[in-house]
Chain A
Amino acid sequence: MIGRLTEGVPRRALALLAALFLLLLVFPAFASGYLLAVGFLILYFAFVGQAWNIMMGFAGQLSLGHSLYVGLGAYAAAALYVHFGVSPWIGLGASIGISMLAGAAIGFLAFRFGVAGVYFAILTIAFAEFARIGFDHFRWVQGSSGFFLPVANYTQNDLWNLRGSPRMFYYLMLALTAGAFVLCHALLRSRLGYYWLAIRESPEAAEALGVNLFRYKMAAVVISAAMTALAGVMFAFYYNNLFPEQIFHISRSIELILGPIIGGIGTLVGPIVGAFLLTGLAEGLREVMLRLGIDVPGVKQVFYGICLLLVVMFLPDGVWPPIAKKLGLRR
Chain B
Amino acid sequence: MPVEIYLNVAASGLLTGLVYGLMALGLSVIFGVVRVVNFAHGEMMTLAMFLALVLFNALGLDPLVTLVPIAGVLLVFGYLLQIGLINPFINRPEHSQFMLLVAVALILVNAQLIIFGPDAQGIRTRYSFDSFQLGPLIVDAAKVYAAGAALVVAAALFAFFRYTLLGKAIRACADNYHGALVVGLNVKRLYALTFGLGAACVGATGAMLMAVIDVTPAIGPAYTLLAFVIVITGGLGSMPGALLGGLLIGLTEALGGVLFTPSAKSMFAFGLLVLVLLFRPQGILGRKTG
Contacts and interface: CB of A to CB of B under 8 A. Distances in A.
A282 interface: no
Interface in A88-102: none
Contacts of A117: 94-95
Interface in B244-290: 261, 263-264, 266-267, 270-271, 273-274, 277-278, 281, 290
A320 B100 CA distance: 19
B103 interface: yes
Contacts of A299: 110, 114
Nearest to B36: A118
B179 interface: no
B106 A308 contact: yes
B270 A309 contact: no
B126 interface: no
A56 to B, nearest CB: 7
The winner among B109, B110, B263 for most chain A CB atoms within 10 A is B110
Interface stretch (B184-192, B193-201, B208-216, B224-232): B224-232
A244 to B, nearest CB: 11
A254 B100 contact: no
Nearest to A110: B277
A309 B40 CA distance: 13
A77 B260 CA distance: 28
Interface in B69-117: 85, 88, 92, 94-96, 98-100, 102-107, 109-111, 113-114
B137 interface: no
* Chain A interface size range: 35 or more
Given A62-B98, A129-B225, A312-B100, A301 B110 contact: yes
B60 interface: no
Nearest to B278: A109
Interface of B is mostly: helix
Contact of A254 (B102, B114, B118, B222): B102
B107 A309 contact: yes
Contacts of B26: none
Contacts of A296: 114
A137 B263 contact: yes
A251 B267 CA distance: 19
Contacts of A29: none
Interface in A290-331: 296-299, 301-302, 304-306, 308-309, 312-313, 316
B106 A304 contact: yes
Contact of B100 (A119, A122, A309): A309
Contacts of A118: 37, 94-95, 98
A316 B92 contact: yes
B147 to A, nearest CB: 26
Contacts of B225: 122, 125-126, 129, 250
Contact of A306 (B92, B107, B229, B278): B107
Interface in B101-147: 102-107, 109-111, 113-114, 118
Contact of A297 (B95, B113, B222, B290): B113
* Chain B interface size range: 35 or more
Contacts of A250: 221, 225
The winner among B95, B222, B228, B290 for most chain A CB atoms within 10 A is B95
Contacts of A133: 263-264, 266-267
A302 B278 CA distance: 37
B103 A312 contact: yes
A114 B274 CA distance: 15
Interface string A101-125: 0000000011001110111011101
Contacts of A21: none
Given A250-B221, A297-B118, A312-B99, A122 B232 contact: yes
Nearest to A62: B95
A308 B102 contact: yes
The winner among A56, A127, A261, A312 for most chain B CB atoms within 10 A is A312
Interface in A201-253: 250-251
A208 to B, nearest CB: 14
21 contacts: A62-B98, A64-B102, A113-B277, A114-B290, A118-B94, A122-B37, A122-B228, A123-B273, A126-B228, A134-B267, A136-B264, A137-B264, A254-B106, A297-B113, A299-B114, A301-B110, A302-B110, A302-B114, A305-B104, A305-B106, A313-B100
Interface of B: 37, 85, 88, 92, 94-96, 98-100, 102-107, 109-111, 113-114, 118, 217, 221-222, 225, 228-229, 232, 236, 261, 263-264, 266-267, 270-271, 273-274, 277-278, 281, 290
6 interchain residue pairs of minimum CB distance: A305-B106, A298-B113, A298-B110, A305-B107, A309-B103, A308-B103
